[in-house]
Chain A
Amino acid sequence: MSEFFTVAILTATLTSGIRQAVPYLLAALGEAVSQRAGVLNLGVEGVMLIGAFSAYYATLETKSAAIGLLMGLLAGMFMGLIYAFITVVMHAEQGISGIGIYLFGLGFTDLLFQKQVGTPRPIQGLKTKPMNWLAEDTGRVGELLFSHTILTYVAFLLVPAVYWLVTRTTFGLNVRAVGENPHAADTLGVSVNGVRAAAIVFGNTMAGLAGAVLVLDIVQNFQQNLTAGRGFIAIALVYFGAWRPLRVMAGALLFGIVSSTVLTLQALDVISGSVTSIANMAPAVLTVIVLVVVSRRIGQPAALTKPFTRDA
Chain B
Amino acid sequence: MKYPRVFNLLLALLGVFALAIAGCGNDDDDSSTTQTGTSFRVAVVAPSASNDLAFTQSIVDAVRKLEASNHIDEVSITDGTFVVEDAGAAIRGYAEEGYDLVVAHGSQYGGPLQEIAPDFPETSFIWGTAVDTFGLPNVYSYSVRSDLGGYVNGVVAAQLTESNIIGVIGPVEVGDAKLYVDGFEAGAQAQNPDVDVKIVYTGSFSDVAAAAEAAQSHISLGADVLTGSAQMVVGATGVAQENGVLWFGTQANQTPLGEDIVVASQVYRWEGILADAVDRVKAGELGGETFIMTFAGGGIDIQFNDNFDLPQEVRGSAQATIDGLIDGSITTGQ
**A residues bordering B, Cβ < 8 Å?**
9, 12-13, 15-16, 19-20, 23, 86, 90-93, 96-97, 99-100, 103-104, 106-108, 110-111, 113-114, 118-122, 125, 127, 214, 218-228, 230, 259-260, 263-264, 266-269, 272-274, 276-277, 280-281, 309
Is the CB–CB distance between B3 and A100 below 8 Å? no
How does the 8 Å CB contact mask read for B289-328 relative to A, with 1 for contact and 0 for none?
0000000000000000000000000000000000000000
Is the CB–CB distance between B15 and A103 below 8 Å? yes
- For residue B166, give the distance in angstroms from its CB to the closest CB of chain A: 11
- For residue B1, give the distance in angstroms from its CB to the closest CB of chain A: 7
Is the CB–CB distance between B82 and A220 below 8 Å? no
The stretch among B21-29, B34-42, B92-100, B150-158 that forms the contact with chain A is B21-29
The stretch among B118-126, B138-146, B231-239 that forms the contact with chain A is B231-239
Is the CB–CB distance between A12 and B221 below 8 Å? yes
Tell me, in angstroms, the Cα distance from A230 to B257 when the chains sit together. Answer: 24
Q: Nearest chain-B residue to A123 (Cβ)?
A: B238
Give the residue among B49, B172, B241 with the most A Cβ atoms within 10 A: B49
Q: Is B161 interfacial (CB 8 A cutoff)?
A: no
Tell me, in angstroms, the Cα distance from A260 to B200 when the chains sit together. Answer: 11
Q: Which residues of A contact B202 (CB under 8 A)?
A: 263, 280
The stretch among B108-116, B212-220, B264-272 that forms the contact with chain A is B212-220
Is the CB–CB distance between A277 and B172 below 8 Å? yes
Q: Nearest chain-A residue to B11 (Cβ)?
A: A92
Given A16-B217, A100-B18, check contact A223 B200 (CB 8 Å).
no
Is the CB–CB distance between A86 and B208 below 8 Å? no
Is the CB–CB distance between A225 and B201 below 8 Å? no
- For residue B31, give the distance in angstroms from its CB to the closest CB of chain A: 18
Inter-chain contact count A-B, CB under 8 Å?
A: 186
Q: Is B30 interfacial (CB 8 A cutoff)?
A: no
Chain B interface residue count, CB cutoff 8 Å, equals 62
Tell me, in angstroms, the Cα distance from A121 to B254 when the chains sit together. Answer: 11
Is the CB–CB distance between B232 and A267 below 8 Å? no
Tell me, in angstroms, the Cα distance from A111 to B48 when the chains sit together. Answer: 12
Q: Name 8 A/B residue pairs within 8 A (Cβ), A-sorted.
A: A93-B8, A107-B20, A122-B257, A218-B209, A219-B235, A224-B48, A225-B82, A267-B214
Q: Is B284 interfacial (CB 8 A cutoff)?
A: no
- For residue B126, give the distance in angstroms from its CB to the closest CB of chain A: 24
The stretch among B50-58, B63-71, B187-195 that forms the contact with chain A is B50-58
Is the CB–CB distance between B49 and A114 below 8 Å? yes
Tell me, in angstroms, the Cα distance from A260 to B213 when the chains sit together. Answer: 8
Tell me, in angstroms, the Cα distance from A260 to B12 when the chains sit together. Answer: 39
Is the CB–CB distance between A110 and B26 below 8 Å? yes
Tell me, in angstroms, the Cα distance from A222 to B235 when the chains sit together. Answer: 8
Q: Is B80 interfacial (CB 8 A cutoff)?
A: yes
Tell me, in angstroms, the Cα distance from A9 to B222 when the chains sit together. Answer: 10
Is the CB–CB distance between B220 and A103 below 8 Å? no
- For residue B65, give the distance in angstroms from its CB to the closest CB of chain A: 17
14 extra interchain contacts, Cβ-Cβ under 8 A, other than A119-B51, A227-B209, A263-B217?
A: A19-B213, A90-B3, A110-B49, A122-B237, A125-B238, A219-B234, A220-B238, A221-B237, A223-B206, A228-B208, A264-B217, A267-B167, A269-B198, A277-B173
Q: Which residues of A contact B52 (CB under 8 A)?
A: 119-120, 223-224
Of B12, B200, B209, B258, which contacts A228 at CB under 8 A? Answer: B209
Of A12, A92, A226, which contacts B217 at CB under 8 A? Answer: A12
Tell me, in angstroms, the Cα distance from A281 to B242 when the chains sit together. Answer: 29
Tell me, in angstroms, the Cα distance from A235 to B213 when the chains sit together. Answer: 22
Q: Which residues of B contact A226 (CB under 8 A)?
A: 208-209
Tell me, in angstroms, the Cα distance from A154 to B231 when the chains sit together. Answer: 30
Q: Is B333 interfacial (CB 8 A cutoff)?
A: no
Is the CB–CB distance between A107 and B21 below 8 Å? yes
Q: Which residues of B contact A96 (CB under 8 A)?
A: 8, 11-12, 15
Tell me, in angstroms, the Cα distance from A106 to B26 when the chains sit together. Answer: 12
Tell me, in angstroms, the Cα distance from A233 to B226 when the chains sit together. Answer: 29
Is the CB–CB distance between A221 and B234 below 8 Å? yes
Q: Which residues of A contact B218 (CB under 8 A)?
A: 267
